[in-house]
Structures are given as structure tokens and as C-alpha cells.
Structure 1
Amino acid sequence: MTTTAVNIPLLLLMASMAIAAGLLMSAANQPSPIREAQRVWALGLVAGPLGLALLRLGGLLEAGLLQAAAKTIMTAGFSFPLIALALISGASIRWRALLPVVLVLAASMIFLLRFPEAPMRTGLLSLVCSLTCMLAAQHAWHCVSRVETPYGRIVAFIFACGAAVLLARALMLFPMTGVDNGLTEMLLAAAVLIPALATVSFVLVCGDRMLMQLKLIASTDELTGSQSRRAFLENGRRQLNEARTRNLHTAALIIDVDDFKLVNDRFGHGVGDQALKKIASALRNQLREGDGFGRLGGEEFAVLLTGVNEAEALATAHRLREAVAGLRFSSDNISVPLRVSVGVAIDPGNSPDLDRLLERADLAMYSAKRNGRDQVAVSPCFEAAR
């Protein structure tokens, strides 16, 4: 083995380090989990070529321990991208992806202790790294649906190609005889470049992940975790149109916390915020998965029910009121009474739009307020329909 065999991996290492440095600079300004994913990916970019360079150097110096360390580092070069993709896709694999690293390290040390004079082979390394690449391709493919990005397909294709290259190399090495060393070395060097080749597409996946997070932030009420007013109205219009297409009745409920100003004045806005969280959670627990639920502002919430008749809409409204009335909430050992007034309006299929339906429910809610609070009232149109 000549020094040329070491120089080429060193060139790959320098190029990968430059890409990794740019990625690390970008990661510093990214939100979680994109920041962590890009940092882990950068480690993978450097680990692969570094492991290859050390492997060549270990062969040149006939240093078995250095070769064992090199194989371990090279395996990490494929495990780190797998972890990064799991972070982006929200999968639970995370640090279990380092198990291939542990496997290669253990196998290398056992071989080194049992056959100290024999040259180390890399068939198992190629096989393990091939499997790791396949797992990375699988997680990249999951990003297509979970992150809503088309670039996950490109990352998946690149890692699938890497898995095929490494598998072919492993099959060439296991027979032990008649191996073309030049070809196997070229295949290993090509495989090490896989994370670098996928970096641009990975960054685009991260961009789509950030866009998804921004949409989620914009559509979620920060305090209660329910839909924001804008998201509720947008989703509600789609829900209403779909219900009309399927000839289903739709009911709108406006829920307002009774005497909430007194809660804020007596116990403070911090306690008031905690009370709103409790109320939102209690309301959400009484709803079906497909029901629309959002915070319109302040202490006012809205619910949109589809596929319900008049009796079912009223029953839901009463359940919501009772769920809040049953809350046990206190501050400094002082019980804080929580009550809501609920207004109900139903669309039999001829209301002009969602805004009009909510307006009718809002008028019904104010009627409940005037009649003593902590009760359910229905819109005049609802009563006429009965």
C-alpha cells in the first residue's frame, strides 16, 4: 500500500470538512430539532472520510488497533446521517442507530485479539454499513410524508445506492479469494461520499421541516395548544364545505368563560393563563377527533361539529359546560370557580358561510350570559328548525 492510498482519503476528508463547516454555521441559527440534525449530519460528513484515511494509514503502518478504530469511525459516518434523518422525521430510533458502531468495534477487537498477526478485512464493515444505509434510506422516505417534502426521495435514493455499493463490496470480500483489491477500495471510497452527495437534498428537507414548524406555530394558540383563530376559521370553512358536499348538518358552538376578568383581577394573569389551559384541555377531551376546536381570543373558544343532529349538538354543548364546571382548580389553596356559557347554532345546509353560523352561535352565547351564565343557549334559527 502506497501513500497515494492515504492521500485520496485525505482529500475527501478536507472536502467533507469544508461542507461540514458550512452546515455547522447554518445549524447555529436553526430551531430544534433541525439544529441538532444538521450538527449530527456534519459529524457524519467528517467521520466517513476520516475513518477511511485512518484505515488506509493503519494498513500502511500495519497497525491493527488503528484499523479497528478507523472501522468504528467509518461506521459512525453512516450512523450519524441515520440519526439526523430520524430527528427530522420524528422517528424514535435516535441513538439506537449507534448500535452498528458498537457491533463493528466489538467484532474488530475480537478479531484483533484472536488473530493479531492477520490482516484485518472489511467485509463485515461493508455489510453493517450497507444495512445502516438502508435504514437511512427508509427514514429519508418517511420524511416525504411526515415532513411533506419531495426531497426525501432524493436522499432515500442516494442512500439506497450506497447500500447497494456496500453490499456488493461485502459479497466480493466474503469469499476470501480472488478479490480485486483495487475495485473494493474504489467501492469503499465511493460509499464514503454518500452523505456528502446527499447533503444538498438533506438541507432542502430541513428547509421544508422548518416551514412545517412555522405553519404549526402560526396555526396553534401558544397558550392553550388549540387552533388559533385564523387556523380555526380556515379549517372550519373547509369542514363546512365538505359537510355540505356530503349533505351533513354542521353545528357551531361558542364557549365563553364566565366572569374571567374577576379571576384575573383577584388571582393575577398567571393564574388566569393556567385556568385557560385547564379549560381548553377539559373541552378538548369531550370532543371527537375530527371536531374543530380553536381559541378565538381572550377567554372565548369555538367548536365546529359535523355529522350531528340537533339533539347531539345540544348534548355535546352540555357535556362541555359540565366538564368545565367539574374542574378542580385552585391558587394558594383558594378554589377558583370556573364556569362557561355556551351558544349553539346549527347549519341545516343553507347558511351562507361559517362567519354567519358563528355569529348566530355568538348571539346565543350572549343570551346564555344574560340569563344567568353557566348554561347552554341555542340560536333562534336553531329553535325554529326544531
Structure 2
Amino acid sequence: MIDVKTAFILWVAQAGALAVLLLGIWLQARKEKHFLYFGIGFALHASGLALVALRGLIPDALSIHLGNPVSLLAFAAWTAAVGAIDKKRVPFFALTPPLVWIAANLIPAIRDDFAFRVATYNVAAGLGFAALSFAALTVRFSTVRYRALLASIWLAQSVCAFLFAAAAGFFGADDFSNPPATIWAGLAAVVGFIASLVILAKMLMDRSEERLKLLARTDSLTGVLNRRGFSAAFDALTSTTTSPLIAVVLFDLDHFKHLNDRHGHAAGDAALVEFAYLCGALLPETAAFGRTGGEEFAAVLTIGEPRDAALFAETVRLAIAERKIRVGDQEIQITTSVGIAVGPREMSALDGLMSRADEALYAAKKQGRNRTSLKAGDRIVTVPPTKTRTLDAEADKQVAILRRIAAAGAAFDD
């Protein structure tokens, strides 16, 4: 049978190998901080237990009073790693395990007794596993099932650690050659270690797969949906809404080529990003928004009447026209032309609505750009442009928009 020190060495080798692997992964993906923290955790655990395994060959100050708290510090790194997957901060209780060890060893009766030190280490480890279990329950990545399963494994390891602490304190031990329940403690640690690694790996794989799917339907520059993602969002929205009408609103930034030629592509990119941000901020809750072309964006809205779509479009159009976009040491302003198509929810297809909205958009451009047109039946109605006076109050803007929509004619009520 393998003696305890040999088991320590094997465990140290395994933890060290994992540390190297995880840190290597992090070097290839530096934004994935959880790999860094997991790697640091295993490095600390391996280093601390290596010092513990060398007891008798190196001074006790290194083996006992440095090795144990260093290995327990790994729990803080692991807890930070779990939170980092969801961009959470390290919880204050993550440092509890090494602090418990240090505080307990200030008491001579514990510091000078091997059995009490083993019990203290297990109590600290139990608290560390409890912290990991709590962290697993508070994150939001992967599924509830996997998070609960991972938390359960770490909670079981916490309970085992407390039981081993009680056994060590009750039965006593003189050294590593005869600690109580050593075999069972090692077996529980190995089983829990392997099980938690397998589940974590599955959770991270699922997360990576979901992120790849998100990237496949997201525009890399603006962060909004791309055409593929917008199409999927349209299908999802029309299949779940109870609103009677669906509207597609097309936005095309005016004179975008001229903007790029005059101010450079950095200015053009800044304009696209700013417009996407603004539309996202003004978008109703039951709606979707995406970039469907170079300088073309689209929104799909669930509405009760056509004027709802026109109100949204005009609000965006006026807001972007008044916005100053800073690019380096210069400020630029842009405008947008808008085309709207509305149809019954049950009979609406994206391609048909996009085609009709494009006709309305063409009409808005033909009439001078920086305005909104709506395709209703065979007619295209354009909202009159704003008057020259400035509207200071947001309420005044909304009233003015509604008045101009009403002035556009009965087509908005068809």
C-alpha cells in the first residue's frame, strides 16, 4: 500500500501538472481570468503540500507553518476562479481557510500537537469547500442542474473534512504514519477532486459553445445582432408575442461613405457603434435590433398600431441627429433615414417586411434624407421633418413627434 508521503508526492505532481496546463491555457486566452485563478490555486496547493511532505527534511517553520497556509490559500484562488467565470469579485470569506490555520496556530496547545494541527487543517479545508459550494450556487453560467451538482460535491467534501477533523481531534495521531481515517480521507479527496473537475469541464465546455453561438449571431464591431441573429430574433419574437402587429424599422446612416472619406474609417466605426448603442438604449422591451448591412440597421417591434413604430423611429432619428460623437480631437454628427413596414403578426414574414421597409427607406432618402417613411398597403407616407426651433424638454419632443405623425395622414392607422 502507498504510504502517506508517497501519496502526497503523487498529489503534488498531479496538482502541479494541472497548474501548468491551466496557466498555459490562460496565456493563450488572457481574458479568461478563471483559468489564471484555477492555475494559481493548483500551484499554491502543490507548493504547500510539497512543503508539508518534506516534513523532517526541512525546518518545521517551512513545512508546517508555511506549507499548510499556502496550500489552504488555494481555496481563495479557486473561489475567485468560480466567480471570475461570471465576472464577480472575490468574496471576502475566500481567505477564511488560511486565516483559520494561522489564528489557530497562535494557540500553543494546537501548534505543538500534531493531531490538533491535522484537525485544524481539515476544519480550514471544510470552510474552503463550503466557500466553493456557496460560490457555485451564486454564479449564473451553465445550467442550474450542473451548478447544484457541483455545489453538492463541494458541500459533501466540506462535511467529510469536518468529520475527519473531529476524528483527528478525538482519536489523536503522532505523525503521518498513523493518522486516523487516512485512507478514507484520501479516497474522499480523490473522488471529490475528479468529480468536480469533470463537472467544471462540462460547464466550461457548454459556456464556450454558447459563446460561439453568440459570436455567430453577433456583429463584431457594434455588439448587436448580425443579420443571421436578427432573423432568429424575428422568428422568436413573432412566435411568442400576442401583439396584433409586427413592424420592421430600417435605419440607414445618411452619407456614410462621405463620412468615411472625410473623417476616416475610425470615425465611421465610431458612428456605427454610437448609433447601435443609442438604438439599444431606446429599444422597447419586446423588440430586437441588429446590424443588417454596412451602415444599415433594423429593428423588429411588436406594436398595437403603426404610429407606435413611427414614434420609436422618430425618437431615434432626432436623438442621433442631436448627438455629437467625439473621435480623437474632432466631433462629428450624423443623421439617419428610416423606412417602416407593418404587418399582421400571423401573416408576417421577415423578407416581405424587409422589402417593404426598404421601399419606404428609399422614399425617405428621395425626399431629402433624415426623415421617416412608412409603407402602408400600396402607399408610402412620410412624417414631416422637424421645424427649425429647438425643443428643450423631452416631453415637448414626444408631443411634437406625435403631432407630426398625426399630420402624416391616416396611413398610420391602417
TM-score normalised by structure 1 residue count: 0.84
Identify the range of structure 1 (98-107 vs 283-292) with the bigger mean alpha-carbon deviation.
Answer: 98-107
**In structure 2, do the counterparts of structure 1 residues 327 and 221 end up closer, same or farther at CA, with 3 Å as the change threshold?**
same
Q: Kindly tell me: are residues 333 and 46 of structure 1, through their superposed partners in 2, closer, same or farther at Cα, counting changes over 3 Å?
A: closer
1:165 to 153, 160, 184: 160
Q: Is the 8 A contact 1:264 1:271 kept in 2?
A: yes
Separation in 2, partners of 1:186, 1:280: 60
Asked if 1:75 corresponds to 2:79, the answer is no
Aligned to 1:199: 197
State the partner residue of 2:302: 306
Match for 1:260 among 256, 274, 277?
256
Q: Which residue of 2 aligns with 1:236?
A: 234
- Partner in structure 2 of residue 129 of structure 1: 125
Corresponding letter in the other structure for 1:156: A
Q: Helix, strand or coil: the match of 1:222?
A: coil
1:273 is aligned to 269
* Aligned pairs, number: 375
Task: After superposition, give the CA deviation of every residue in 1:320-343 in whole Å (9 maximum; x if it has no partner).
Answer: 111111111355765533111111
Bigger shift: 127-136 or 187-196? Answer: 187-196
Q: How does 1:262-341 map to 2 (within 5 A)?
A: 262-329=258-325, 335-341=331-337
Is the contact between residue 9 and residue 53 of structure 2 (CA under 8 Å) also seen in structure 1?
A: no
How many Å separate the matches in 1 of 2:284 and 2:345? 21
SS of the residue corresponding to residue 223 of structure 1 reads coil
Residue 405 of structure 2: aligned partner: none
Q: CA deviation at 1:142?
A: 5.3
Q: Give the 3-state SS of the residue equivalent to 1:271 in structure 2.
A: helix
State the match for 1:218 in structure 2.
Answer: 216
Cα RMSD between the aligned structures?
3.2
Larger CA deviation: 246-255 vs 297-306: 246-255
Q: CA deviation at 1:231?
A: 0.4
Cα deviation 1:200-258 (Å, max 9, x = unaligned): 33222222222122222222212112111110111111101222xx2532221101111
In 2, Cα distance between equivalents of 1:196 and 1:46: 17
Could you tell me how far apart the structure 2 residues matched to 1:23 and 1:130 are? 24
Where relative contact order (Cα < 8 A, 6+ residues apart) is larger, the structure is 1
**What is the letter of the counterpart of residue 232 of structure 1?**
F
Q: Return closer, same or farther for 1:117/1:316 CA change in 2, 3 Å cut-off.
A: closer
Identity of aligned residues (%): 25
CA distance in 1, matches of 2:134, 2:91: 16
TM-superposition CA deviations, 1:127-178 (whole Å, max 9, x none): 33223212323433556x52348654553333222112112223445xx444
The letter for the 2-side match of 1:15 is Q
Q: Which whole-Å deviations, capped at 9, do the CAs of 1:294-333 have from their partners, x for residues lacking one? A: 1111111111111442222221111011111111135576
Partner residue, 1:147:
142
1:235 & 1:179 partners in 2: Cα distance? 64
Mapped to 2, the partners of 1:59 and 1:184 lie a distance apart of 22
Gaps of 5+ in 1: none
Kept in 2: contact 1:254–1:361 (CA 8 A): yes
Q: Name the CA shift for 1:76/1:140 in 2 (closer, same or farther; >3 Å).
A: same
| Distance change >3 Å, CA 385–CA 64, structure 1 → 2 | same
Distance 1:262 1:15, change over 3 A: closer
Where 1:317 maps in the other structure, the secondary structure is helix
Describe the shift of the 1:27–1:284 C-alpha distance in structure 2 as closer, same or farther (beyond 3 A). closer
1:94–1:308 distance in 2 versus 1, CA, 3 Å:
farther
Aligned residue among 180, 184, 201 for 1:183: 180
Match of 1:379 in 2: 375
Work out the CA distance in 2 between the residues paired with 1:131 and 1:6.
24
Helix, strand or coil: the match of 1:121? Answer: helix
